[in-house]
């Protein structure tokens, strides 16, 4: 795994940020206190999102910690998501842990994040070793899906569709309507009206 200090530098966190910050809970195993992170792994993705939209991943967490007595002493692996918003504000979320999953060694779950700003988001998934350098856990993520504000339909990733058009004069005597055709079935635009024939106005 990557050392804690290098993980923090990679994700843009302050030195020592991951130390004693997360305190997972479990029903079968209990460790009272925050987890001391030693090392781990990271994977990044970036997504364009609009305010009010939601991104969701399904995941499989493979828990490498197999000794309940060790976990109860703080040998606790963590899944943490670090989100960097377009404004640069960072948020951290404890998604899963050894403590919350034992006695299971593999568990499936989902995690959703709601965008509060429009722009490019950075998502850093961390799988962290707590208490030791051994018994690594791992995480498998599905392709992210998206929902728009006020729309429960699940979509693929959002992409920018730049449109450059302007009127010949600006005295108010002209108006403009744009019609986009050849829109793939199942796709939607964030503005305009769906004409129902593969085109938007």
Q: Which two tokens stand for residue 44?
A: 């990044």
Rounded to 5°, the CA angle 103-80-61 comes to 35
Output the pTM of the full model. Answer: 0.85
Query: 123 pLDDT band (50/70/90 cuts)?
Result: very high
CATH code of 2-147, in short, is 2.60.120
Portions of the chain given CATH number 2.60.120: 2-147
Sign of CA dihedral 185, 143, 22, 19: negative
Provide the mean pLDDT of the chain: 92
pLDDT tens sequence across 22-43 = 999 999 998 988 999 999 999 9
User: In this structure, what token pair is assigned to residue 162?
Assistant: 């730049």
Q: What is the pLDDT of residues 187-197, one digit of tens each?
A: 888 888 999 99
Which tokens go with 157?
Answer: 């990733």
- Tell me the per-residue pLDDT of 79-94, one tens digit each, with 9 for 90 and over: 999 999 999 999 999 9
């Amino acid at each position: 795994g990557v050392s804690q200090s290098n993980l923090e530098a990679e994700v843009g966190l302050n030195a020592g940020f991951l130390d004693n910050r997360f305190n997972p809970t479990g029903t079968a195993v209990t460790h009272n206190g925050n987890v001391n992170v030693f090392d781990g792994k990271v994977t990044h993705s970036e997504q364009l999102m609009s305010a009010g939209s939601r991104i969701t991943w399904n995941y499989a967490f493979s828990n490498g910690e197999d000794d309940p007595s060790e976990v109860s002493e703080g040998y606790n692996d963590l899944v943490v998501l670090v989100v960097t918003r377009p404004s640069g504000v960072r948020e951290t979320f404890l998604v899963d842990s050894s403590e919350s999953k034992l006695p299971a060694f593999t568990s499936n779950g989902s995690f959703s994040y709601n965008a509060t700003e429009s722009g490019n988001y950075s998502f850093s998934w961390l799988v962290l070793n707590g208490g030791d350098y051994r018994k690594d856990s791992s995480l498998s993520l599905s392709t992210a899906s998206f929902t728009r504000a006020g729309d429960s339909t699940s979509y693929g990733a959002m992409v920018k569709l730049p449109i450059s058009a302007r009127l010949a004069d600006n005295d108010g005597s002209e108006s403009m309507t744009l019609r986009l055709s050849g829109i793939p079935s199942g796709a939607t635009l964030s503005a305009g009206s769906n004409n129902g024939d593969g085109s938007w106005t």
